[in-house]
Amino acid sequence: MNHSGKRYLQLLALSTVLGAASTTLLAEEDPQAAAKADKTGTNPINFTNDFRIYNEYQWLNTAGDGYQNITTLQYRTPFADGKWQFQIKTRGVNIGADTNNDGIKDLDASGWGDTDIRFLTVPYMDMSKKMAVAAGVEFFFDTASKNSLGSGATSIGPQVFAVFFKPFGGFVDLFSPAYQHKFSVDEDPGRGKVHQGLFDFFFMKSSKDKQSWLLINPTVVLDYENDTQFMLVDLEVGTMLDKYLGTKGHSAYIRPSFTIGSDRTSDGSIEVGYKVIW
């Protein structure tokens, strides 16, 4: 990354933090009030302290055999009197792929991947209408230890999403449509620009005792830079572990996925994760 690109990103991140610290929530009530007892980590506007570790194994869409294994560490915390949330994700990556179907691995690397941070707030919430609107910005940093383990670009991703509680006649507990626009501000030599749109639809249903949940999460990825598109569909089943471990706020989940479209980068994946929320 060149010096001007780093400087530009640092200024953007700093301005976001300063703006967050001085912003007052426009909601009619505290967005945490309705969900403060929830420890499942499935409500995107429940700003709790949150640590997660999860591992995703992907079957890559390559001519020959291809896989990617990603282990992610994620931490979230509220700040500015709970009006904002800060999130950081960093990951280790192992990739192997035969891109020519000649029996030889063209990609075979492991190490540290990219790191991203996000700032999120809830500018509108009306529980009488059972809905809220959240907005934020995500910064994607080119921290990969090897070229094949990251995007090779530093990017910014503004995002906005709505949250509807008990929609469709209460058929699901939560529905959240979202859009994120992601674009690069600096690229390594020889690496392409990033310019994507992500349409995300999140449906969640919990058990009556609130100890387990099922969610469906389709995401449409539009790559404006390369004129490609595909859909990723995630299914997740999770459960609280407190009654087994004698703890508070511990849970685990399994999340298989499949990908649709000729431009897809993977055929599917399986993810398992552990969460601690306090």
> Residue 38: its pLDDT value, please?
86
What confidence tier does 28 reach under pLDDT thresholds 50, 70, 90? very low
* pLDDT above 70 (res 137): yes
Reported as a single tens digit per residue, the pLDDT across 193-240 is 999 999 999 999 999 999 999 999 999 999 999 999 999 999 999 999
Composition of the chain by helix, strand, coil, percent to 5: 10, 55, 35
Output phi, psi for 242, to 5 deg.
-60, -40
> Residue 13: its pLDDT value, please?
52
* pLDDT above 90 (res 27): no
CA distance 252 to 39: 12
> Residue 182: its pLDDT value, please?
98
* pLDDT above 50 (res 20): no
> Residue 9: its pLDDT value, please?
52
Q: What is the DSSP letter of 166?
A: S
Reported as a single tens digit per residue, the pLDDT across 231-264 is 999 999 999 999 999 999 999 999 999 999 999 9
CA distance 69 to 55: 7
Give yes or no for a contact between 257 and 271, defined as CB atoms under 8 angstroms apart. Answer: yes
* pLDDT above 70 (res 3): no
Output phi, psi for 239, to 5 deg.
-150, 150
CA distance 174 to 178: 13
Q: What is the mean pLDDT of residues 135-143?
A: 98
CA distance 80 to 21: 5
Q: What is the mean pLDDT of residues 63-80?
A: 98
CA distance 134 to 123: 6
Helices (H), 165-206: none
> Residue 23: its pLDDT value, please?
41
Reported as a single tens digit per residue, the pLDDT across 152-209 is 999 999 999 999 999 999 999 999 999 999 999 999 999 999 999 999 999 999 999 9
Please state, as a whole number, how many other Cβ atoms lie within 10 Å of the Cβ of residue 202.
Answer: 20
Please state, as a whole number, how many other Cβ atoms lie within 10 Å of the Cβ of residue 170.
Answer: 10
What confidence tier does 37 reach under pLDDT thresholds 50, 70, 90? confident
**Token pair for 123:** 């500018």
